Chains A and B, each alone.
Chain A
Amino acid sequence: MIVKDVMPNFDLFQPKQLKDAFAILDKFGKDAWKMAGGNDSLAWFKDRAKRPKVVVDISGIAELKGVKETSDGGIEIGALTTLTELSKNPIVRAKYRVLADAASKVASPQIRNTGTLGGNAAQDARCWYYRYGLPCYRAGGNTCFADTPEGVNREHALFDTDRCVTVNPSDTAPALVALDAKFVVRGSKGERVLSAEQFFIGPKIDITHLTSIKPEEILVSIRIPKDWAGARFYFEKAAERNSWDFAMVNVAAAIVVSNGVVERSRIVCGAVSATPKRLPAVEDSIKGKALGDDIAKVAGQTATRGARPLNYNKYKIPLMANLVTRAVRDATA
């Protein structure tokens, strides 16, 4: 069986400036592993499922930390801002509460103290076949062990599967998509500002990654536009345990109500596909309507259209429908 022991050896670099980090990443390319809070990375190393030659610990780069307001009325959050800082930040709480709520639901207090927004949003898949180190599609192999008649796929995807059926496990990612966040990734060759659709990628595009960050790039910050500041928000995470667990399904909603009816909205579910699943059909179904129990119920039923459950995750369909219903019904300013 696969040896689970102490971590294998690697060379550790701890740059204090971005340019130094880029130089290291350029030098070692795909042999380098970027680590921020380390909560995801160290588990990989201890399981010996990932054996990088070089680890670049970017947690000491000060310019990647903190929340600041931008000239256009939005905010820019450094990728190394911890989830605890984010959940308590007064600007975030006042203007974009859904993100603070999502950050406060991640794992445990200890993990939130070290875990970063960038690390949580860009974290790797939790499919246990993959995490165990089996040679599945996501690990570069030739098969999916979860999408089989015998596969244990209780936590896996309902939508947009393509050979791999893993889900994006992040709690903050759906909130960021609901807020129409832009992801700033930078390398020595320049900077890219990506929409959520460009940043989060499913197996149809790249079966071995959940984001489009290249090996030589670092997620440096996340920009949130002013468009959704002060909207009605809702975040809920359904997990088997109240502490330290990944979502079975989560939902984030941002709804702008004007003159008693929905002017616009962004509703996103996590843990149902390999990318945060935005629900445009739900958004269309509530647009121009007054929020209430009936319209919320319709929204919930609409949310799960097109779902293709696996053997053991059919429960996610009513769970997702109920979460969306509650998001539409209970979103508050």
Chain B
Amino acid sequence: MELFRYAMSVYGQDQLLGANWDLIWWFGGAAAIYIVVDAACRPFLGKNKRKTLVNAPNDGATVRRHHLIDRLYHWAMAISVLTLIGTSFAPILDWKFEWVTAHWIAGVSLSLLVVYHIIRAAFWQDIWAMIVTPADFRVAFATARAALGRPDEAPLKPGKYVLLQKAYHWMIAALVLGLMVTGLTMWLKIDTPFWNRNPYILGDDMWGLVYTVHDFCAMSVLALTMIHVYFAIRPDKWWQNRSMFSGDIARKDYFAHHDVTRWAPDDV
């Protein structure tokens, strides 16, 4: 399996063009395998964990998990990412349509959303809620031991996000930043209402590198998006995921699943 695409340069040498698109199937396949394995194992691994975690009264009260502005941001980002995935991979997989304009508009939209998110997270949100700490590893370790048959170690609970959520966030953040930098550079190569194209701002080798980074980041985002959608639609995650629509989780779930000393919403 070739990792890269090459062409012959004017000097008769191999010139890097980007990633080998056959790798789409490998990235997608890896995500699919992860999903299948997780779905197959979770009913067995989850028994002990659920038994120990659900222990709060069901009084119907709710706790605000995501503010409206953050939910709007999430869904705008989702639309941008799905548009980018559709307009990039569908033509490669032989579904032909006019994709370039939609792709760059979605890419620029995503870039603006990311800039907005960075500013909001830095000044208006609790940025530490997403920072990985040693406590996250202790919780993850205890949860794993509980899931594997040691329920006595389960009382350790996470803050707002578990370790895997934080890891996912930072992975997708790194990939999207990689896509942004390379994508915005590529944007200079097409005519837009703002400027005429200029392919000579970089040399051939540097362009090859830019495309390669963009391609690998894009395929990774495809895989991570598949995994994200899988977890979003899992019924056992609905107690949490519905908050991306309503903004709230049940108060009983808050107490059952979260460490109140590490995550204390205003309405608790």
Contact = CB atoms under 8 A, between A and B. Distances in A.
Nearest to A2: B12
- From B96, B190, B199, B211, residue with most partner A Cβ within 10 Å: B199
Contacts of B8: 2, 133, 135
Interface size bracket, B side: 20 to 34
Interface in A124-168: 133-135, 139-144, 147-148, 162-163
Contacts of B207: 142-143
Nearest to A206: B96
Given A201-B96, A205-B96, A135 B17 contact: yes
Nearest to B197: A147
A163 B7 CA distance: 18
B100 interface: yes
Interface in A1-32: 1-3
A200 B216 CA distance: 32
A133 B10 CA distance: 8
Nearest to A308: B191
Given A1-B10, A135-B15, A162 B100 contact: yes
Contacts of B17: 135, 140-142
The majority secondary structure among interface residues of chain B is mixed
B211 A142 contact: yes
B112 to A, nearest CB: 24
A134 B199 contact: no
A2 B199 contact: no
Nearest to B7: A135
A201 B94 CA distance: 14
A205 B98 contact: yes
B151 interface: no
Main secondary structure of the interface of A (DSSP, over half): loop
B97 A142 contact: no
A144 B199 contact: yes
B128 interface: no
Contacts of B198: 148
Interface string B99-110: 010000000000
B100 A204 contact: yes
A212 interface: yes
A142 B204 CA distance: 9
Given A140-B5, A140-B7, A143-B207, A3 B98 contact: no
Given A142-B17, A162-B98, A212-B96, 18 more contacts: A1-B11, A2-B10, A133-B8, A135-B7, A140-B5, A140-B17, A141-B7, A141-B17, A142-B189, A142-B211, A143-B189, A143-B199, A143-B207, A163-B189, A204-B100, A205-B96, A206-B91, A206-B96
12 contacts: A133-B8, A135-B9, A139-B7, A140-B5, A140-B7, A141-B15, A142-B189, A142-B211, A148-B199, A148-B200, A201-B96, A205-B97
